[in-house]
Amino acid sequence: MEETIDLRAILRLNTELSQIQDLDILLERILLMARNVVNADAGSIYARQTVVEEGETVDNLLIKYAQNDTFQKSLPPGEKQAYARLCVPINEKSISGYCAYNKKTINVPDMYDIPEGAPYSFNSSFDKLTGYKTTSSLTFPLATEERLLGVIQLINKTNKEGKVVPFSEEDELVLTNFAVNATTAMQRAFITRAMILRMIKMSELRDPKETGSHVNRVADYAVEIYDRWAYRHGISIDERESFRDILRIGAMLHDVGKVAIPDAILKKPSRFTPEEFNIMKYHTVYGASLFDNHTSPVDKVAMDIALTHHENWDGTGYPGWVDPMTHNPIKKDENGNPLGKKGEEIPLSGRIVAIADVFDALSSRRVYKDAWVEDEVLGHIRGQSGTKFDPELIEVFFEVLPAIKNIQNLYPDAEH
């Protein structure tokens, strides 16, 4: 007897989608929701990517997230599975490419028994490499009438007994409705991401270090660190999902205050003088002032991150206890200078981004320095535990280091 789908759960999912603001968090959540709705063991979500190859514009599908419950169960608690960066041409040769090309849902009961004459085929190399058997699949587009946004491919629907079964016509109908709402949420998130990237592009025009790749890496590192910290502390799934959404947006904007720093200092290819460094420190205050009028939780977290991502665990960082609007000290030492924030006086978001930012800065090549080798970077990070960085978060950082390295590969710096 075919299992029925809880329509109330679908309505709840649609409500959840409308509340997620960050594009990457949304894509990961869409995939998980789609899998849960039809009880799929695994799946991938692809985003449309337009690139220029040999002078021609080419559309591909870029895998953004992959999930596999069978693989996940074999990992230690709290650890996430890694996945490969993969591009699929939008043409009729592969199932996902065919789905994207024709904006058509493809339901295959058995990937090893695709009907003769089908224009697409199944590449079984992944199965051979991992020992995982892909059987049933359901691939559907995320698209408007005018534009393809992405594709979701779900793998191996399971019944109550855990047996792999084909996806049903009811699954197709429900996911078609789900795709409409997911696409609407994606369009909204694309607009939010575009606005953020424009702010970052403005910073990049002033400071070549502030690139899209850098801020995406820092944001993803921050989410990975937070996820493991939240797991350690027993934070509920709902609270975790909500905070990681706004954390990623806030982390992307951590250095937006640099737009207020003079070019002579910002673009200086050598060390700052003490006077120049004191001016540079105020990018934290300028950035925080952009979010002072809190209209959403994102504003509060973005302000905290901009203001405190250079504070040190031992209180020696900057800018310290300063009002971001007036620039006046809130807490002062005997000389009238602002006291540094220390320990848990620094918001969790700022403590996390501090680690993510330093790791990425040391690991990346700049016009004034080469990238440090990995052992040097990790040794430095570990050596700053308890002085510059929160000791517990350093433990967490090393626990999620495999995921951090995977993110480095997902967002490489552009060649110049």
Tens digits of residue pLDDT in 396-405: 999 999 999 9
Helix/strand/coil for 40: strand
E strand spans, 352-410: none
What would the pLDDT profile of 265-304 be if each residue is shown by its tens digit? Answer: 887 877 888 999 999 999 999 999 999 877 788 899 999 9
Tokens of residue 354, six digits:
């501090």
Q: Using 50, 70 and 90 to split pLDDT, how confident is the model at 2?
A: very low
Residue 256 CB-half CA count within 13 A: 24
Q: Could you give the CA distance from residue 28 to residue 45 in angstroms, rounded to a whole number?
A: 8
Residue 342 identity (one-letter amino acid): K
CB atoms within 10 A of CB 263: 9
**More confident site: 368 or 50:** 50
pLDDT digits (tens, 9 = 90+) for 350-369: 999 999 999 999 998 775 66
**Contact yes or no for 210/253 (Cβ under 8 A):** no
Written as six digits, the tokens of 298 are: 């994102």
Segment 133-179, tens digit of pLDDT: 999 999 999 999 889 999 999 999 999 999 999 999 999 999 998 99
Query: Does the pLDDT at position 6 exceed 70?
Result: no
Name which of 114-128, 145-159, 196-210 the model is least confident about: 196-210
Beta strands in 109-220 (DSSP E): 137-143, 148-158, 164-165
Q: Report the amino acid identity of residue 370.
A: D
51-109 pLDDT, tens digit per residue, is: 766 677 788 999 999 999 999 998 887 777 777 778 899 999 999 999 999 999 999 99
Instruction: Enumerate the H helices of 2-124 as residue ranges.
Output: 7-17, 23-38, 69-72, 95-102
Count of CB atoms situated within 10 Å of the CB of 294 = 12
Q: Radius of gyration (Cα) for the chain, nearest Å? A: 23
| Higher pLDDT among residues 124 and 207, named by residue | 124
pLDDT level of residue 195 (50, 70, 90 thresholds): confident
> In sequence order, which residues have a C-beta less than 8 Å from that of residue 5 and are 6 or more positions away?
37, 38, 170, 171, 174
CA distance 122 to 276: 59
Of 359, 366, 348, 249, the C-alpha closest to 304 is 348
Token digits of residue 415? 């060649």
Cα separation, 187 vs 206, in Å, equals: 29
Residue 353: which of 387, 294, 397 has the closest Cα? 397
Strands (E), 208-248: none
Two tokens at 177? 């409705």
For β-strands 106-108 and 137-143, DSSP reports them as antiparallel
Euclidean distance between CA atoms 213 and 194, whole angstroms: 14
Which band of pLDDT confidence, cut at 50, 70 and 90, is reported for residue 411?
confident
Given the structure tokens 């944001």, which residue do they identify?
219
Strands (DSSP E) along 239-317, which ranges? Answer: none
**Tokens of residue 278, six digits:** 């004191």
Report the C-alpha gap between 199 and 337 in whole angstroms: 31
Amino acid identity, position 136:
S
Residues 21 and 192 sit within 8 Å (Cβ to Cβ): yes
The pair of three-digit structure tokens given for residue 283, joined into one six-digit string? 């990018």
Asked about 281 being catalytic, the answer comes back as: no
Q: Are 43 and 66 in contact (CB under 8 A)?
A: yes
Q: How far apart are the first and last CA of the chain?
A: 60
Q: Angle 372-216-294 (CA atoms, 0-180°, nearest 5)? A: 125
Q: What is the pLDDT of residue 226?
A: 97
Q: How far apart are CA 178 and CA 5, in angstroms?
A: 13
Which tens digits make up the pLDDT trace of 299-338?
999 999 999 999 999 999 999 999 998 989 999 998 888 9
Tell me whether the omega of the peptide bond preceding residue 319 falls within 30 degrees of 0, making it cis.
yes
Task: Read off the pLDDT band of 50 (50, 70, 90).
Answer: confident
Mean pLDDT, the chain, as a whole number? 89
Cα separation, 257 vs 291, in Å, equals: 11
In angstroms, what CA-CA distances link 310 with 61, 259, 285, 325, 337? 38, 17, 11, 18, 17
Strand partners, 44: 66, 153
What residue ranges define each of the domains in the chain, with the CATH number in brackets?
A: 7-190 (3.30.450.40), 207-410 (1.10.3210.10)
Question: What is the band of 416 on the pLDDT scale with cuts at 50, 70, 90?
Answer: very low
pLDDT category of residue 375 using cuts at 50, 70 and 90: very high
The catalytically annotated residue of 64, 157, 258, 388 is: 258
* The pLDDT value given to residue 211: 64
Q: Which amino acid is at 75?
A: L
Q: Closest Cα to residue 183, out of 138, 133, 148?
A: 148
